[in-house]
Structure formats: structure tokens, C-alpha cells
Structure 1
């Protein structure tokens, strides 16, 4: 069990770091100033300029110039992320997710596409049934890791990471992409109550899966 857990942890750290780095690079190439690039979240264990390392490595974020996050003058908003053309607001997060999905496709081929498509259903059903469906998915993941190469397992985990981030929930890329496609650049008043509600759903999703993982590990 432990080798599988260590392997999973290490690959998740690598894949999330690829996601963060690709997002920051895409923003820079799109002419959007990058304020902070964090590999990992939580208290910083190292920080230099725009870059930092957080104590919890299976996560991370890219903080961009954004009038919703900082006070900007009218003259200084031209290159802010929330005032960028719609295609840039979509392309930047897609580039981050696409970098991870590319790993999936290169390592698994058409099986990667199938794993990605099926991940949405698994994420939702697993969260709703942490003691049954989630346990089945975790067993399948452990079996896959034991019978395939490290690269193949990285591809499988990458499919799950991309699918998770595309869910339309607060704190995930999917909600930003959906709202941008619906309303364009300018936020609408109806978004204010929607975002906290979807954030609560995201917390439920993560909490349920953490419970499922704890039960799975504790039962072996």
C-alpha cells in the first residue's frame, strides 16, 4: 500500500506543478502580468520574488494582475486579467489544464481520452458514495498503478486532475470558464451569490473524497 500512496503523492505534486507553471507561462505570453506563482499552498517554506513554495505540495496557484484582487486605476486596467479579451481569459487556464492533459494523451493515447471522459462521472459519484463507489475507483487506481508504468499512471492521474479542475465549482477553473463563456468580460450581479454556493459544493467534493481515501487506507 505505501509504495502506491507515495507514488500517487509524488505524481500529483509533479502534475499540479506542471499545471501551475503552464498557466503562469500562458499568462506571461498573453501579456498579463503575473503577480505570484505558488507551487503548493499554505504557509511559505521558501519565497523569492514572484515565486514561492507552500508546505502542502498537491496544489498551487497563479495570481495575476486583476482588479478584483487589487485596487487599480482606470489607466492601469488595460492588461489586468479581468479586463483582458475573452479569448485570453479562456486561453490562460486552458493552457494550464492542456499541459496536463497532453501528458495524459502522450502516455495513454486513446485510453487517456476515455479516462478523461469517465473521470467526471467518477468524481461526482465517488463524492456522493465515499464508502462504495469511491472505494471501487480507488481499488481500480491501485490495480492500474501496479500493472502499468509510472508514466502511464501519471497519465491516468492527469486525466482526473483536469476533469476535477473543469467542474463548474468555486475555486476551480471550470466555473471561471463557464461564467466567461456566458457573460463575457464583465462580471454580472447574479454571480455574487453563485460563487460562494458553488465553493461550498467544492468543499463537499474534496471532503468526501478525503474521507473515502482515509477509509480506503485505513481498511488495508
Structure 2
């Protein structure tokens, strides 16, 4: 693996530490603990991170609305609550087709949000269903809004550990990246990493957990004449 002293961070590296129950939290934490590389995070990546947090919030609140509607139409008791709980989750997932997930989320990310939500609120939701307690759902809605407001603050605070930069838009290699198979917003961030490599005159390690980018490492190396190397933080 090539040694890169300068790292450009994909959004998922930072979000792994910010979002609750993220499966890559441990690996991201280890990367930031042991890596002394100079780390860059762009304004574009920051906006994307904010959008992801806002998307999680909106989907979570949509689930609450779904539960409210279901509760007004069904009689639920302690004997059948588990079956109704599963049905609510299934009904919410079935509302969306493969190409029509809310907030422009990828299918995998959308389903992950749903799973995390129902796991986290398992006992609370079941008790609400049994008690037919709509007011308690309003309490959860407020808690969700407050929690995601704090996540936004956590994101801003964490940026103090990074070198945050804003790029003047330069479509240097966007078309070539699309031909490789990388689409927005990923190709925008990779292109920004290349612009940074030109500015610093250094090899840049593009750090990401995204297998959809990692698998194109050789093509990206060739496209950018070895100026950009896509790296998984686990391997650093």
C-alpha cells in the first residue's frame, strides 16, 4: 500500500463517529486514534454529512407518523403486540419501491435506518401500542428532534479536528469518473481530492468505507496518474 501523508476524508468516515449505532464506528475511531496524517474535509462533504443527519431525522419522524396511523386503526394487546410491531415495520418498508426511497436515500441506507430505529425503540413502541398512548409518541418525536439537533452540533464540533476547505468548482475529471462507474456525490469528492493534490503537489489518500469506491481504486490511480489512492481506514 502506498504511503500518503495527506488524507481526504469521505463523508462516511466522519459520520461513522457521529451517527448512533453506526456499524463502522469502532473502525473509524481506531483510524482517528492511530492516524497522524494531515486530514482534509471539504465543505461539500460537510453539506453531505448534514443532509444525511437530516435524512435520518425525517425518516425517523415518518415512522412515528406511520405508527400513529396504525394505532388508530388497530386493537393491540400484550398477546398480539409482537405481531403488530413486525407488521408496522413491514408496512413502512413496503411503502417504498427500490427506486423511490425517501429523502433520496440508497436502499441499503434506508433499510439500515429502519432497522436501527425499531431496535432502539423496541420496548417503548410495544408499550405504547399496548397502552394506546398517542401522547407518548409525541414525546418520542420531540426526543428525536432534540437528539438530531445534538448530532448536528457534534458534527460541527468534530470538524475542529480536521482541516476544512472549500473548493471553487473545477470539473477536472467528473466525466471520466462517471465513465469508470462512480456517480454523484462520490465523484465530486474524489475530484476535489484531485484538486487538493494539485494544490499541495502531493499524493492524496482518499479515505472511505464505501466498497463502491474502493473497488475502483486501480482505475482511479490510473485516471489521476497515481495522485489519488483510495484507502480503507481499516488497512491504515
So what's the TM-score if we normalise by structure 2? Answer: 0.31
Give 1 or 2: higher strand fraction. 1
Task: Tell me the TM-score normalised to structure 1 length.
Answer: 0.33
Structure number, greater radius of gyration: 2
